[in-house]
């Protein structure tokens, strides 16, 4: 084995080891788990938007059968669903991250951590909110503004869910701060008293932090949003930024780290913020403002799962000659149809396969470029509806666009292009397999 080959292997092994440590980091896993836990609420909100826009909106299916006032009254049902999902994202996310961090650290009192995290999110909020009604404006107290409980508070919720929970667990693990109840006291009561002092200390510490920000004429949410979240969001959800992170995420997947790990930490906070704005815009009868969002990634970049592996299955059926590859494709076909690519990724395998790595990274890259370009020129509107991740291609496009057939055509186009990308690499890979068999 040549020295150059040894050096390449050494670099690959170091990258793989680093990627594995990153994926195993408890804070990364907690953030990933928090976003995953929110997915049912996101889908519920998307369905509400779909029904509102497709059926009950002015110009919808029922617009000619029901009066405009009746349709507007019905749409308030879906508005309340949005309020109970997208508009409380940061609160739910903070609790979810706290829960998964407790699980990762084997901390038993998860309910105490969740409640403390949500309490800190409220503690950080401003004491008064500027409100304008007609031509009159003023400061109103005793309000929890959706402006902070929604996607504008995502980075704050990540901070509270990780740092706040770590502080709470540190206090809770200090036996000197524990209040022990006598035997016979109900378990729930005993647990509450056990973390009473840690909860109070955590709350007071973050209240002082919030007070310090107010002394400078701002609040934690506004500071993070202005100084950190908005600039990072602009970078991560730009065409170039999203493309770079996507390439990195798919490449690390070929090294054994699931792309969702990178996406959850680097992209998901900002993609969710963009998606939330799209949902609210469509619910208000407007065009979604953001091209790059959770929906864009799901329905353009991940045709048939990570790496667009449904196209790989089709390519193997078209040009594959090796029986073992065709058998793997038969096994992976149904999962890939429902956007589950792991059987192909680990079965072929694509992971640590220098030949198949290339189309696995290249295919979603091409999909991003084409999907973004066609949306940017106005061929289709940005997507604002999210369906279950296992919704098959074309059906997902139809639902995500509230019935726009052009989105389905784009998905078919992307699937064809990705299949053409995979085909020559399938031939090359099978040629190397034949050479290895001859050597044996």
Which pLDDT belongs to residue 406? 93
Mean pLDDT of the chain: 83
In this model, does residue 44 exceed pLDDT 70? yes
Chain segment 332-385, per-residue pLDDT in tens: 888 888 888 878 887 888 877 888 889 999 999 999 999 999 999 989 989 888
Domain boundaries, the chain: 85-236, 249-439
* CA dihedral for 391, 395, 397, 398, sign (positive or negative): negative
Prior bond of 200 cis (ω within 30°): no
Decide: 383 and 278 in contact? Cβ < 8 Å: yes
Decide: 71 and 60 in contact? Cβ < 8 Å: yes
Chain segment 295-316, per-residue pLDDT in tens: 888 889 888 888 898 999 999 9
Q: Which pTM was predicted? A: 0.72
Percentage of the chain exceeding pLDDT 70: 88
Decide: 383 and 46 in contact? Cβ < 8 Å: no
Chain segment 73-122, per-residue pLDDT in tens: 888 888 888 888 888 888 999 999 999 999 999 998 899 999 999 999 99
Q: Among 13-27, 297-311, 400-414, whose mean pLDDT is lowest?
A: 13-27
- DSSP 3-state of 379: coil
């Amino acid at each position: 084995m040549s020295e150059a080959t040894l050096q390449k292997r050494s670099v690959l092994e170091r990258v793989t080891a680093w990627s594995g440590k990153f994926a195993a980091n408890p804070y990364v896993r907690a953030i990933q788990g928090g976003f995953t836990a929110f997915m049912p609420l996101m889908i519920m909100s998307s369905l509400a938007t779909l029904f509102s826009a497709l059926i009950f909106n002015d110009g919808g299916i029922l617009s000619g059968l029901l009066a405009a006032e009746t349709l507007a009254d019905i749409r308030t049902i879906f508005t309340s669903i949005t309020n109970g999902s997208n508009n409380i994202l940061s609160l739910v996310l903070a609790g979810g991250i706290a829960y998964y961090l407790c699980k990762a650290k084997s901390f038993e009192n998860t309910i105490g951590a969740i409640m403390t995290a949500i309490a800190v999110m409220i503690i950080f909020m401003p004491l008064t909110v500027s409100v304008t009604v007609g031509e009159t404006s003023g400061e109103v107290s005793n309000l929890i503004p959706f402006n902070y409980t929604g996607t504008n508070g995502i980075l704050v919720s990540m901070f509270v869910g990780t740092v706040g929970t770590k502080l709470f667990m540190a206090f809770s693990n200090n036996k000197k701060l524990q209040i022990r109840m006598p035997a016979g006291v109900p378990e729930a009561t005993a647990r509450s008293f056990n973390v009473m002092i840690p909860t109070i200390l955590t709350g007071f510490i973050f209240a002082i932090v919030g007070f310090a920000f107010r002394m400078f004429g701002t609040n934690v949410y506004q500071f993070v949003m202005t100084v950190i979240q908005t600039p990072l969001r602009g970078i991560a959800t730009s065409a170039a930024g999203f493309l770079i992170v996507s390439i990195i995420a798919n490449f690390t997947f070929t090294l054994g780290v699931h792309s969702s790990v990178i996406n959850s930490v680097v992209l998901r906070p900002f993609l969710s913020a963009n998606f939330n704005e799209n949902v609210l815009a469509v619910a208000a009868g407007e065009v979604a403002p953001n091209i790059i969002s959770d929906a864009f990634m799901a329905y353009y970049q991940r045709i048939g799962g990570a790496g667009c592996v449904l196209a790989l299955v089709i390519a193997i059926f078209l040009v594959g000659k090796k029986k073992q590859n065709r058998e793997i494709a038969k096994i992976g076909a149904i999962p890939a149809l429902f956007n589950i690519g792991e059987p192909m990724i680990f079965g072929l395998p694509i992971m640590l396969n220098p030949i198949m790595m290339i189309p696995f990274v290249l295919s979603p890259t091409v999909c991003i470029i084409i999907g973004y370009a066609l949306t940017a020129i106005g061929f289709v509107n940005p997507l604002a509806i999210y369906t279950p991740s296992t919704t098959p291609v074309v059906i997902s496009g139809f639902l995500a666009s509230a019935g726009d057939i052009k989105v389905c055509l784009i998905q078919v186009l992307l699937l064809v292009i990705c299949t053409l990308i995979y085909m020559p690499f399938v031939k090359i890979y099978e040629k190397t397999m034949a050479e290895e068999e001859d050597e044996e």
